[in-house]
Amino acid sequence: MTRDAVLTIDHLDVVYETERPVHAVKDVSLSLAPGEILGLAGESGCGKTTLAYAITRLHKPPAKVASGSITFHDRDGSDVDLLGLSDERLRAVRWSKLSMVFQGAMNALNPVTTIRAQLDDALVEHRKGMPKRERRAIAEDALRRVGVDPARITAYPHELSGGMRQRVMIAMAMLLEPQVMIMDEPTTALDVVVQREILREIVRLRDELGFAVVFITHDLPLLLEISDRIAIMLRGEVVECDTAARIQHEPQHPYTQRLLRSFPSLSGARGDFIRTGLGFEEVAS
Ligand SMILES: Nc1ncnc2c1ncn2[C@@H]1O[C@H](COP(=O)(O)OP(=O)(O)OP(=O)(O)O)[C@@H](O)[C@H]1O
């Protein structure tokens, strides 16, 4: 157990129990510090999403956690064995302690209820007894944080653009101020400018609210910009885990070196776009 961690993954194995079993996550051990952004990189099929689903206990048969543990170290000092939680306890932990935004999450909003109702449902369930006026204020604040005009709270999802819906999902994930957020390609469906804007917001909010993030994307240059540390996965295993700077400038594993070479843009000047808000040209000049 690591006290300075908010999440510890210990020797995790996840297998798809299909006719020919697929050992998708192999002996993965990782820890996440409070407030840290940990990037997960690796080519398609290396097990990133399987790992993200296991952490959030969203994996379903044929996926099975064959061995290992995932422990959430709550700010209040208690340790929560995520894999051993009853469904009821899991519901209590999800969104309030640990939340997630997955690929295509903007389609996860309920199409027949307003944004207000969806945010309010989460507050009613997890903040029992909170007066309505306070719930409204928190929901509007959550939207404001991600750059959505709170006046849009009465809208139905179809009345918002894809980028706005995605922001609403991120607002939803942050609504209860969780200590950990798992984000798997949270902005992939959006155009690059909107992606960068949302990511800059996530980094800013992490600075403000102090949540930790496990961030998954195919976009390694982007990951290098926003992550504190990066874990490189290859065929289900974490082959290297280090600070973003060391992964970029002193990669140790041949696969990491190969992965970096597959992004020619990495040899150019970049890296401050998300953190500083400067454009590449400004950074380079
Ligand atoms: N439902 C399933 N049944 C059997 N095998 C599966 C299933 N889902 C995923 N896999 C296999 O598990 C391995 C890991 O897949 P996973 O989706 O976790 O990788 P990934 O790194 O997230 O890929 P991508 O970047 O394309 O999303 C792959 O070999 C994949 O084919």
- The first and second tokens of residue 53, run together, are 């689903």
Q: 57-66, 185-194, 236-245: which has the minimum mean pLDDT?
A: 185-194
* Mean pLDDT value across the chain: 89
Torsion from C-alpha of 3, 8, 11, 15, nearest 10 degrees: 160
List, for residues 139-190, the tens digit of each pLDDT value: 999 999 888 999 999 999 999 988 889 889 999 999 999 999 999 998 877 7
Q: What is the bridge-based pairing of β-strands 229-234 and 212-216?
A: unpaired
Testing ligand 1's pocket by substitution, the residue of 48, 60, 235 carrying the most ligand atoms inside 8 A of its CB is 48
Pocket of ligand 1 contains residue 14 by CB under 6 Å = no
Starting at the edge strand that comes first in sequence, how are the strands of the sheet with 229-234 ordered? 98-101, 180-184, 212-216, 37-41, 229-234, 237-243
Closest protein CA for atom 24 of ligand 1: 44
Minimum-distance ligand 1 atom for the alpha carbon of 236? 14
List, for residues 144-155, the tens digit of each pLDDT value: 988 899 999 999
Pocket of ligand 1 contains residue 59 by CB under 6 Å = no
